[in-house]
Amino acid sequence: MAETLLELTDVSVSFDGFYALTDLSLKLIKGEVKSIIGPNGAGKTTFLDVITGKVRPTKGTVTYRGQSLVGMSEQKISRNGIGRKFQTPRVFDNLTVLRNLELAVSPRKNALSLMLDPLPMAAKDEVHRLMSYVGLAPFAGTQAGSLSHGQKQWLAIASLVAQAPEVLLLDEPVAGLTDEETLRTAELIKSLAGDHTVVVIEHDMEFIRDLDFDVTVLHQGQLLTEGPLDEVKKDPRVIEVYLGTTED
């Protein structure tokens, strides 16, 4: 029996009476990769907000390794091993690529240790490994703000990996990337699977197919169905709410 890492039970989120999530229950098994799809407004991003502590659920529980995450601060959740990449690539524009990654990789995240301790050698090596893996090594000294959109996506993903989280939540990791970059991202995510638990939220069907993992469909804040992509695509409800209208 595989170990349940993250569990959402009957989670509802209401913004002034509008329900972004309604009684959503979901389990994440250690080491699994889950793709989440759904039309706009299905509650995909809110789902991540609830896990990472950005939004407090109106009702329901979120547990990570048996510990409740509700009411915990974002930084604490992050330090517990849940990392997140945002929909739009958010990097620190006025820091160089190198400094962005060095901040993310920092093993101790308090103010005093940043002031006094030098960055450990192992962490520096990790930064260089990641930089060359995502092809940003030539841009180590470039300000992140002047990178292209695709490069920012890569930097955001690399920063996330540098944090060494156990659970990676990726919100649209390939939005705005070229086909080649998309392929490489899929490769990266696959290489992380196994050691890590990954949740990918995506609109790009090709990418989901490349990943070839189980798909969860959200609709109007509820779980519609789960299963392999091909099966899910045949589900008439899914066709009705999502694929029938977006895929041509």
Place of tokens 């490349």: 210
Task: Give the C-alpha separation, 51 to 12, whole Å.
Answer: 12
User: H or E segment at 60?
Assistant: strand 59-64
Minimum separation from the CB atom of position 31 to another protein (A): 22
What backbone torsions phi and psi does residue 17 show, to the nearest 5 degrees?
Answer: 90, -20
- Considering the complex, state which of residue 38 and residue 165 has its C-beta at the smaller distance from another protein: 165
Q: How far is CA 154 from the centre of its chain?
A: 13
User: H or E segment at 14?
Assistant: strand 4-15
Return the residue of 12, 31, 39, 92 that touches another protein, per CB under 8 A: 92
Nearby residues of 110 by Cβ (< 8 Å), 6 or more positions away: none
Does residue number 90 form part of the binding site for another protein (CB under 8 A)?
yes
Site for another protein in 114-143 (CB under 8 A): 114-115, 119, 135, 138
Q: Are 61 and 9 in contact (CB under 8 A)?
A: yes
Question: 169 forms bridges with which residues in the sheet?
Answer: 84, 199
Return the residue of 10, 93, 187, 195 that touches another protein, per CB under 8 A: 93
Task: Give the C-alpha separation, 220 to 223, whole Å.
Answer: 8
Place of tokens 């109106």: 58
Does residue number 86 form part of the binding site for another protein (CB under 8 A)?
yes
Minimum separation from the CB atom of position 195 to another protein (A): 19
Q: Are 40 and 232 in contact (CB under 8 A)?
A: no
The closest of 8, 5, 21 to 218, measured between CA atoms, is 21
Return the residue of 34, 38, 44, 102 that touches another protein, per CB under 8 A: 102
Return the residue of 84, 152, 196, 219 that touches another protein, per CB under 8 A: 84
Task: Give the C-alpha separation, 81 to 113, whole Å.
Answer: 20
Return the residue of 95, 175, 205, 239 that touches another protein, per CB under 8 A: 95
Return the residue of 25, 68, 94, 148 that touches another protein, per CB under 8 A: 94
- Considering the complex, state which of residue 15 and residue 59 has its C-beta at the smaller distance from another protein: 15
Site for another protein in 164-183 (CB under 8 A): none
- Residues 199-228, mask of contacts with another protein (x by CB under 8 A): ------------------------------
Does residue number 79 form part of the binding site for another protein (CB under 8 A)?
yes
Q: Which window, 29-37, 108-116, 171-179, 229-237, contacts another protein (CB under 8 A)?
A: 108-116
Nearby residues of 114 by Cβ (< 8 Å), 6 or more positions away: 106, 108
Minimum separation from the CB atom of position 196 to another protein (A): 16
Q: Which residues bind another protein (CB under 8 A)?
A: 52, 54, 73-75, 78-79, 83-84, 86, 90-95, 99, 102-104, 106, 109-111, 114-115, 119, 135, 138, 159, 163
